[in-house]
């Protein structure tokens, strides 16, 4: 199973932000943020300025905590973000979506909305007992977050590069051990 489309989308976007830390950092310019916003169809208040960029960059540590905290500690972390972010879940409807849930008002700063929406998405993950779907990349020396939305839980790497690197390393190991 995977989660409903909102949750999937939110987790995928949050993972991109967390992994954008790099190196190299892929969220350094307002243009980087704009690309991210367009790709993930963000609506609501978007300042598209340096201050917004800096606050989103700063939120990445907390986003990482939300995604990767161990199962037993996750509820506390999630509840704290929901509380401090002033979560007020509301049903909203805007193109191209039907009715769906927003965790905070559309006028709140982007970084706040990202954090609270991710906390709400993570609460769905915890409720369904699926926290093991979020892990760190199986490649050595890669700390990227991996959100596994596959039916058979087969996603272990953050991307093709890490997958290929691990496959090549495994191949070399087989060669050397005959």
Q: Which span (21-29, 59-67, 107-115, 131-139) binds Zn ion, by CB under 5 A?
A: 131-139
Take residue 105 and report the two structure tokens written for it. Answer: 């008002």
Is residue 11 within 8 Å of 67, Cβ to Cβ?
Answer: yes
Is residue 73 within 8 Å of 21, Cβ to Cβ?
Answer: no
19 binds Zn ion (CB under 5 A): no
Q: Which span (13-21, 69-77, 82-90, 154-162) binds Zn ion, by CB under 5 A?
A: 154-162
User: Minimum CB separation from Zn ion for residue 72, in Å?
Assistant: 25
Q: Spell out, one character per residue from 91 to 130, where the chain touches Zn ion: x when CB under 5 A holds, - when not.
A: ----------------------------------------
Take residue 92 and report the two structure tokens written for it. Answer: 């909203």
Take residue 171 and report the two structure tokens written for it. Answer: 């191949």
State how far the Cα of 177 lies from the Cα of 92, in Å rounded to an integer.
Answer: 59
158 binds Zn ion (CB under 5 A): yes
Of 18, 110, 15, nearest to 55 (Cα)?
110
139 binds Zn ion (CB under 5 A): yes
**Across the chain, where does the E strand assignment appear?**
90-92, 100-102, 134-136, 145-147
User: Minimum CB separation from Zn ion for residue 151, in Å?
Assistant: 22
Contact pick of 142, 156, 163, 166 for Zn ion (by CB under 5 A):
142
Q: Which residues bind Zn ion (CB under 5 A)?
A: 137, 139, 142, 144, 158, 162
């Amino acid at each position: 199973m995977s989660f409903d489309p909102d949750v999937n989308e939110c987790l995928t976007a949050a993972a991109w932000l967390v992994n954008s830390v790099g190196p190299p950092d892929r969220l350094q310019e307002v243009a980087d943020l704009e690309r991210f916003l367009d790709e993930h169809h963000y609506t609501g208040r978007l300042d598209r300025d340096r201050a917004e960029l800096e606050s989103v960059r700063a939120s990445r540590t907390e986003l990482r905590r939300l995604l990767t905290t161990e199962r037993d500690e996750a509820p506390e972390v999630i509840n704290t973000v929901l509380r401090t972010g002033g979560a007020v879940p509301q049903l909203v409807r805007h193109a191209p979506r039907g009715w769906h849930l927003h965790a905070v008002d559309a006028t709140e700063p982007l970084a706040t909305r990202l954090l609270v929406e991710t906390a709400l998405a993570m609460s769905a993950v915890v409720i369904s007992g699926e926290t093991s779907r979020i892990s760190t990349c199986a490649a050595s020396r890669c700390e990227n977050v991996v959100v596994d939305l596959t039916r058979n839980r087969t996603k272990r790497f953050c991307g093709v590069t890490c997958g290929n690197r691990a496959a090549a390393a495994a191949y070399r190991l087989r060669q050397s051990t005959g």
